Structure 1
């Protein structure tokens, strides 16, 4: 049964400096239609109360509870975002409180009309600033929203996924900017590499996402070897480093090296062999087989 506004006032409380105030039982349970009518009365009361008094605080808190349905309504727009509903409601309450503190009866506008944009704006800001898996510039976050709208609109009209060239004029962006927005949209959500991917009828066939992505890079082992080798080469004598450079960087033959340095090919061979053995021994860790 619907509670009438007149029946909602049951008892009174004194704020110590102003006349007695009406007290509502369970303000959050008042139907929206009654809440709209009562809100006008309570906003008049709020304007007359001195901020910081018990009466002012009571009126403000009652307005918040009476209009919680506006938060529930606004939060419903975001139920497909994958965020906990309680988190969205809490953020929406912040928007409701801001709207109550800034509402002015003299504007002659319904409070619900004034409050919903505050609530929605606060929720959008929450998603924009805190729910992206990676940091994305704000202009691209906003472009992602426009991209989703334009994609839905054109998909319905064309009966297929729209091309970049078709999205650009609708979004009033260049094709390069549309592509940039599409790439940025990939940063909105993320999946753990430990996420289980069903692979068959039994749990034994399941695999982690990491097992299905990427492969070993053979260059990685080479990089590690170069990283270990560099200080060993630096420790060689200058002449030995020159020989290695001529042989393996300039790719000269031992005979050509001998002619350049004025020594025999046999001597070049012995010097290279000695340097390579020294490097090989340095590459082998203690306690391992060479």
Structure 2
């Protein structure tokens, strides 16, 4: 059997395309080799021979928000999968099998890792069709953007599908909250449109929840709470005014507040 070293050095006949070498002999040998180091070495040799094609396919997707280096790595991963799965006995040329495998891997990378918002696959496909149609029609409509009806007629999609795809155009890369709003002349951004947390809302809810409970308290407890929390009187002054000890006032306040809290929580549950 031919050694791995000899296989690695053996030149392959060239395909008419510079980045598509003829590795049919290698694939035939791979199909008969048992799993092991020799087969892995020959498979690695085939992958290296086809890397230029994978990188060429990756370049078709540049300028879409992902670095070319990362795209090429994803394309090579698709190439490795194609080399492993290819069966020369089916009679199909490796290039015909590998190209859709590599392109599919790159598209899957965009679908699974590059969308800033989760968008269903069907909507992603509509978005891609709308995007392609918009680019094609913009060259033939005197520079103006195509209408929804024109895109629908061009693609065979319904107008509803076109609108759905157009909405997804802005979902690929979310707009920063610091981005200036269109038409703004003073740097007004999305962040400026967000409201701050309003603690007063919780206070209103708490007051409304406890209001009916206060009316059921004995008159003395109502008076003590009123003087303490609405008149801001100290416990010692309340004790003097009511003729009881400060310790008694403290116990009444603690007991009454705990009881009110338990009642409100019980109603909430």
How high is the TM-score relative to the length of structure 1? 0.63
Q: 1:33 to 1:154 in 2, by over 3 A?
A: closer
Unmatched runs of 5 consecutive residues or more in structure 1: 1-17, 198-205, 240-273, 285-290
1:103 aligned residue (86, 103, 106)? 86
Question: Take 2:89 and 2:32, find their aligned partners in 1: how far apart are those partners?
Answer: 14
Bigger strand fraction:
1
Whether the 8 Å CA contact 1:36–1:112 is kept in 2: the answer is no
Question: Take 2:40 and 2:159, find their aligned partners in 1: how far apart are those partners?
Answer: 54
1:43 aligned residue (3, 21, 27)? 27
Q: How does 1:16-55 map to 2 (within 5 A)?
A: 18-21=1-4, 22-24=6-8, 33=18, 36-37=21-22, 39-51=23-35, 53-55=36-38
For residue 173 of structure 1, what is the aligned residue in structure 2?
Answer: 157
Correspondence 1:136 to 2:119: yes
Q: 1:221 to 1:171 in 2, by over 3 A?
A: farther
Question: Take 2:165 and 2:216, find their aligned partners in 1: how far apart are those partners?
Answer: 54
Q: Give the Å deviation of 1:169.
A: 2.6
1:227 aligned residue (179, 193, 205)? 205
Q: How does 1:188-207 map to 2 (within 5 A)?
A: 188-193=172-177
Q: Give the Å deviation of 1:116.
A: 1.2
Q: 1:61 to 1:174 in 2, by over 3 A?
A: same
Question: Take 1:33 and 1:47, find their aligned partners in 2: how far apart are those partners?
Answer: 25
2:103 aligned residue (120, 125, 133)? 120
Q: 1:45 to 1:163 in 2, by over 3 A?
A: same
Q: 1:183 to 1:43 in 2, by over 3 A?
A: same
Q: Give the Å deviation of 1:210.
A: 5.3
Whether the 8 Å CA contact 2:116–2:173 is kept in 1: the answer is yes
Q: 1:106 to 1:215 in 2, by over 3 A?
A: closer
1:214 aligned residue (172, 193, 204)? 193
Moved more, 136-145 or 177-186: 177-186
For residue 247 of structure 2, what is the aligned residue in structure 1?
Answer: none
Q: 1:20 to 1:132 in 2, by over 3 A?
A: same
Question: Take 2:98 and 2:62, find their aligned partners in 1: how far apart are those partners?
Answer: 20
Whether the 8 Å CA contact 1:36–1:111 is kept in 2: the answer is no
Count of aligned positions: 218
RMSD: 3.7
**For 2:21, what is the secondary structure of its paired residue?**
helix
Q: 1:233 to 1:169 in 2, by over 3 A?
A: farther
Q: Give the Å deviation of 1:216.
A: 4.1
Q: Give the Å deviation of 1:137.
A: 0.9
Structure number with greater CO (CA < 8 Å, separation at least 6) is 2
Whether the 8 Å CA contact 2:55–2:76 is kept in 1: the answer is no
Unmatched runs of 5 consecutive residues or more in structure 2: 233-269
